[in-house]
Chain A
Amino acid sequence: MNSVEFRKELFAEERADNLSEIGRPTVRQDILGHVTGRSAYYDDHLFDGLLHMRCVRSPHHHARIRSVDFSAAERMEGVRRIVGPADVPKNLNTLLSLINFGKEDEPLLSERKTSYRGEPVLAVIADTERQARGGGPRRARGSVANGDRRRRPPAAAVRVDWEPLPHVLDVEEALAPGAPTVNETYPGNAFEYHGRYDHQKLRFGDVDKGFSEADRIVEGRYRMSPIEQAPIETCGAIAAPETGDRYVCYTSTQALFFSLSTTAKLLDTASSRLHFVGGTVGGGFGGKVDSIVEPMAVLGAMLTGRPVKFMWDREEEMQVGAPRGAELWIIKDGVAADGRILARSFTGYFDSGAYTRLSSYAVVKSTGHLPGPYTIPNVASNVFCVFTNRTPATAMRGFGITGVDYAIECQMDRVAEAVGMNPVELRILNAYRDGDMKAHRRVAKNTALIECCQVAAQKAGWQLSPDALRQSSKEGGGGRRSAIPETATDQVGRIGERRRSQLPAEPLAGPGPRGRVPAGTAGPATEAAPPQRPDMAMDWEREKSPAAALPEPARPSISPPPRIPASGISAASASAASPQAAEAPYAPKAPFSRGVSKPGVSRFLSGTRRR
């Protein structure tokens, strides 16, 4: 049985616990729908005359398209329309163009070549899903034609003349001279940063000096395979023409305006013609930001004048839908005999797959995260966004951070072993504290790593030394630890350079001039924009300081019963002292009567299946 406790005594002086609504276990406004199965998924929106869209996909890792013949598929029963690259008004995009980051590199439907197995080249729109269905990426053998028309799905009846090309699947091989070019927008197989380098650099202090002063050098190499976000509801969208020359789109998106803007751009239409409605259930975990299904569905509705559904099946979700990409991290630490880490260098690779999507952003995010939650005087990293002939990667819970945290924390275990220390005490010794300078040249504040280490160890019954237990995030930081050191720099890895000659990937290696950035060099921190008018600024006096608070608040902050009456729901109180074990388990008063399916009711209705 799980348990949860709220350690209110920690940082109590920085927090008032006498708020009215904040801190209460209020029951969700949508919980009844969720627990009775009535909350609507996008697929619960029903339309008369709904058409179904399926993609024809490449069976090759990398192939040129010599020709496409869909005349047989077009004549098949139920097929309304074959959608090709020429039907997409602006058939090239990169997701982060919305924030001016990166070059357009990915078509919605590919015309000349495909760069990963499962890349779409055509879409079939038909009266029923069965008629449209071409199977998943591996069953879509494009070069097969003819056969029994009634049994063969139209997607398989499309004749594509493929010319397979050499492919590359490994990130280090992709950066080597002579590797096949995956993505012609980035001929070096790496995203280009600042128009200057094929990677993002981080330089703080001088790692080589740190390594030379160290008693031990500890090295590790860590790799994470791609994983699937695995939402219960697969990615998809239903689009339908509306009166007033508009299109409504019910979508699984995690980012409503991101998907709307991307659709408007690809279809070269005014965003005011699009009405997007998102869901409230189904899960996302990062895999529903890519905005592929929405433009496809809206395009289908525009071309046919009918409602069109484009929905991935589970196989597409797992093999064609973007996963969290693979990462490779190589870490080198210089450690003093007493456990202090004096220098840490990283070489990181994000396997972006065939297109950029969001991996370019993850590189910068991970760079800002290095060297982890520790104060280390010398840090350097080179992090690459690498293109390979696999399904494009995208965001997932912990994007840009999860992989490198795995690497850093396995590395910390190695360091603890190398110097013979308790691994928890090693973390506390090196932990960042309030006032410390971080490697991205901003001062740490509001830190709490040490307290987390102490409490977790205590809960597990893992003994720490009295000295480790005395430490605090609020003490011992700043001062000398807030200084920005003189920093060693280099100019290795300019765009295209790695294509011409083999270059080491690790920081401060390879030929070329070296530079020094003077100690103390840092620009101003970016601050949140202030409230645009004074009456939008909250009077924080209302959140009374602990000193001014009544000794005994009328309502404890954690354990009052929720104020929302929720019939049929046991109003579980979240008490700090009594975990769930103390409560009677939930039992319905009567059996559920409102099922999901409605026998005898046609699903070919307009409206919403669930209410």
Chain B
Amino acid sequence: MAKRKGRGFACINYPIGMNLGGDPSQALVHSTPDGKFMVSLSSIDLGQGMKSVTRQIAAEALGVPVADVYVDTADSDTGPHCMGSFASRGTHRVGNAVIRAATEARAQLLEAAAEELEVDAADLDTDGQGNIHVKGAPSRSITVADTAVAAQFRQGRTVSGRGIFLIPPSEANPETGEMTPVSCFAHGAIVVDLEVDEETGEVEVLELNSAYEVGRALNPKLVEQQLVGGAWMGISHALYETTEPYYPSREHGPVDFNSYLMPGPGDLAPHHIAVIERPAEDAPFGGKGPGEMCANPVIPAVANAIYNAVGVRCDELPITPERILRGIRANGGAQPGGVRR
């Protein structure tokens, strides 16, 4: 009896946004009297960080500091329509809508500044620090705050914008399945190292090494948080979780977290991540949305590592100790597949 080490690999791509389109999102942007910007959405941020990403996108597109932008969302009386937070669509769809709204607001901001500076709006640029200046002549400038005051109290001009992003609906062909499912894909690959106790069937994940391609890391800390958490969820899905442990039988279903198993802090393995950025042409600043896809390669990589460790094909999820032990017994003992390096 022994613990057997195993190494497994898997790689995936992931479609960004609702399949077959037809899922719009809208955004409104307006300036307060003193040149701060409010982004109004109805998109839901249940912890994943969409408010933060859309805030950075708005600041970038407006050309103002992120501290001067606030995102207000999740109220149907004030926010324009959004389909919802699913299908990895938030960053892509809402982000694009925010770019359009912010761009329209920026155009009005520059027109107002042009009137104050008595120049052509096309000759103006922002410095990202709260100032607007004549291109090539940084000393001829006006602050965003002064511009907003002038626009709203002297010129009678709004500094606001509207944006919608829509991939129009399309349909799958009934005979061939021809379709335009989505417009861009994220990618991931992972190597899982683990150890299987051939006496108990228990699995300990030892280390994860991964590479995820996310288009562009709009906020690297949020990307890191998604990838670390998502990989944990993948391990949990592979080895622990189910509402029906003897599916298709409905018996022995868990009703709380005592019987619904998940890995605890002691079951977490070190995860070494490489982030790769290949911007997608129709995504906001190229960012694809790493949220959903990061759990996916972990699950088969765990299954493949267990096969490498003890020679049991894990064709049913979750891969419980019971299933591994039954597999080892059916094979007449563990059959290690050899060291992979």
Contact = CB atoms under 8 A, between A and B. Distances in A.
A255 B46 contact: no
A105 to B, nearest CB: 20
Interface in A321-370: 323, 326, 351, 361, 364-365, 367-369
Interface string B24-38: 000000000000000
Interface string B151-187: 0000000000111111111111011111111111101
Interface string B294-335: 011101110110010000011111100000000000000000
Interface string A1-27: 111111110110011000111111111
A318 B220 contact: no
A439 to B, nearest CB: 7
Interface stretch (B141-149, B195-203, B254-262): B254-262
B61 interface: yes
A396 to B, nearest CB: 9
Contact of B67 (A194, A401, A564): A564
A572 to B, nearest CB: 7
Interface string B72-102: 0111110101111111000000001001110
Interface in A274-305: 274-284, 286, 288-289
Given A194-B174, A326-B248, A413-B307, A399 B86 contact: yes
Contacts of B307: 413
A558 B219 CA distance: 9
B59 A369 contact: no
B176 A489 contact: yes
Interface stretch (A120-128, A196-204, A208-216, A592-600): A196-204
Q: Is the interface of A mostly helix, strand, loop or mixed?
A: loop
A532 B223 CA distance: 31
Contacts of A372: 12-13
Interface string A254-277: 111110100000000000001111
A95 to B, nearest CB: 11
A58 interface: no
A228 B243 contact: yes
B8 A326 contact: no
B100 A323 contact: no
Interface in A93-134: 99, 117
Contacts, number: 500
A319 B161 contact: no
A410 B46 contact: no
A361 B255 CA distance: 28
Contacts of A231: 46
B60 A20 contact: yes
A452 B212 contact: yes
Contacts of B165: 528-529
Contacts of B204: none
B255 A318 contact: yes
Contacts of A2: 228, 270-273
Nearest to A174: B248
Nearest to A537: B103
Interface string A142-172: 0000000000000000000000000001110
A462 B7 contact: yes
B220 A25 contact: yes
Contacts of A257: 42, 76, 81-84
Given A201-B176, A460-B209, A15 B318 contact: no
B295 A397 contact: yes
Interface in B1-54: 7-15, 19-23, 42-47, 49, 51-52
B190 interface: yes
A225 interface: yes
A543 B285 contact: yes
B55 A29 contact: yes
A19 B60 contact: yes
Nearest to B21: A526
A468 to B, nearest CB: 12
A591 interface: no
Interface stretch (A48-56, A442-450, A496-504, A603-611): A442-450
A15 B245 CA distance: 47
16 contacts: A3-B273, A22-B285, A24-B220, A193-B172, A225-B243, A255-B83, A256-B44, A314-B256, A323-B243, A326-B247, A364-B19, A367-B179, A406-B299, A442-B179, A454-B211, A456-B9
